[in-house]
């Protein structure tokens, strides 16, 4: 492991995992009881989860990895699928000896979270929260996830953010920033595979996930419509759906307070209903 370094996004370090994979993680708060929240970012990178991580750290220890290959981090040869990421993050929880973990994933991070739940043979996970997640087949073409690979950056951000104030202005990006953004999108395409936004078989496997699952959805998402999110929630035996108004693909950014409220209600009423009794 590298020496920890303090950053505005938390304390970062590199954790070496079995199989030669190294993962850069940001940590928020302190590990006091061996439980945690694991935050998994989508294709827009780890910065999209930093605000949520900081807010949650007032209540719980938070671990937020950067998917190998994003933001200039190394991606080992042959490490190239969502399943690879899911196994790596279960290895991370083993290495950190964390249990009862709530995994919160946005976009492709939600897909990774679902795959983790299917592979959690050591009981590391306690609950899932999927924020405008992708990963399942929609069955109906009009409800499919939009393919951002064929979109201009301005079109993609318009569909991703309801409030124009949150949309990045790509005209102000430096050449270095443009190159980094393009590299992140290429890494996303590598992990997401040929179908890009889903595994055609994933929905049919989710009945095996008995953990409580909350699907939170920005109602104005132009990448994946709310009907897709409702279908995701119904795929789990203990799935719950909460829409977030005036938010699109990143409710944790556009409506952080409402997103935190939905997660808190989920914990109080489903995950730990006896906590406040």
pLDDT in tens, 159-212: 999 999 999 988 899 999 989 999 999 999 999 988 888 999 999 999 999 999
Give yes or no for residue 58 having a pLDDT over 60.
yes
Q: What is the share, in percent, of the chain residues with pLDDT greater than 70?
A: 95
CB 101 within 8 A of CB 126: yes
Structure-model confidence comparison of residues 2 and 112, the more confident one: 112
pLDDT averaged over every residue in the chain: 93
User: Which string of DSSP letters, residue by residue, matches 170-235?
Assistant: GGG--HHHHHHHHHHHHHHHHHHTTTSSB-TTTGGGGGG--S-EEEEEETT-SSS-HHHHHHHHHT
Structure-model confidence comparison of residues 3 and 208, the more confident one: 208
Distances 258 to 46, 63, 203, 231, 245 between C-alpha atoms, Å: 20, 21, 27, 21, 9
Q: Is the dihedral of CA 137, 143, 145, 151 positive or negative?
A: positive
Structure-model confidence comparison of residues 146 and 163, the more confident one: 163
CB 15 within 8 A of CB 3: no
Cα–Cα dist 116/124, whole Å: 10
Cα–Cα dist 169/174, whole Å: 11
Cα–Cα dist 258/55, whole Å: 12
Where residue 7 falls among pLDDT bands split at 50, 70, 90? very low
Token couple for 94:
């083993």
Q: What is the share, in percent, of the chain residues with pLDDT greater than 90?
A: 82
pTM of the full predicted structure? 0.94
CB 242 within 8 A of CB 270: no
Q: Is the dihedral of CA 39, 196, 83, 232 positive or negative?
A: positive
**Is residue 3 packed enough to be buried (19+ CB in 10 Å), middle (13-18) or exposed (0-12)?**
exposed
Q: Angle 175-192/108-119 helices, nearest 10 degrees?
A: 40
> Which residue ranges make up each domain of the chain?
5-271
CATH number of 5-271: 3.40.50.1820
Number of Cβ within a 10 Å radius of residue 47: 12
CB 80 within 8 A of CB 21: no
Distance, C-alpha 215 to centroid of its chain: 12
Contacts of 270 (CB under 8 A, 6+ apart): 127, 212, 214, 238, 240
């Amino acid at each position: 492991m590298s020496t920890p370094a303090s950053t505005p996004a938390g304390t970062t370090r590199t954790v070496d995992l079995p199989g030669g994979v190294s993962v850069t993680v940001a940590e928020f708060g302190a590990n006091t009881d061996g439980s945690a929240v694991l935050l998994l970012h989508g294709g827009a990178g780890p910065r999209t989860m930093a605000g949520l991580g900081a807010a949650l750290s007032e209540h719980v220890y938070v671990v937020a990895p950067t998917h190998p290959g994003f933001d200039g981090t190394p991606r080992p040869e042959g490490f190239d699928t969502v399943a690879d990421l899911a196994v790596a993050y279960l290895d991370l929880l083993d290495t950190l000896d964390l249990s009862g973990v709530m995994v919160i994933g946005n976009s492709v991070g939600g897909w990774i979270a679902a795959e983790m739940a299917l592979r959690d043979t050591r009981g590391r996970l306690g609950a899932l929260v999927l924020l405008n997640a992708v990963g399942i087949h929609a069955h109906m073409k009009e409800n499919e996830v939009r393919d951002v690979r064929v979109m201009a950056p301005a079109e993609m951000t318009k569909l991703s953010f309801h409030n124009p104030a949150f949309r990045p202005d790509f005209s102000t990006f430096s050449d270095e920033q443009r190159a980094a953004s393009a590299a992140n999108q290429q890494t996303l395409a590598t992990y997401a595979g040929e179908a890009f936004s889903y595994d055609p078989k994933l929905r049919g496997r989710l009945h095996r996930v008995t953990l409580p699952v909350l699907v939170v959805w920005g109602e104005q998402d132009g990448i994946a419509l709310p009907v897709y999110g409702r279908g995701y929630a119904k795929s789990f035996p203990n799935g719950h759906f909460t829409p977030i108004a005036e938010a699109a693909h990143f409710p944790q950014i556009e409506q952080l307070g409402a997103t935190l409220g939905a997660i808190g209600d989920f914990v109080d009423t489903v995950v730990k209903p006896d906590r406040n009794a």
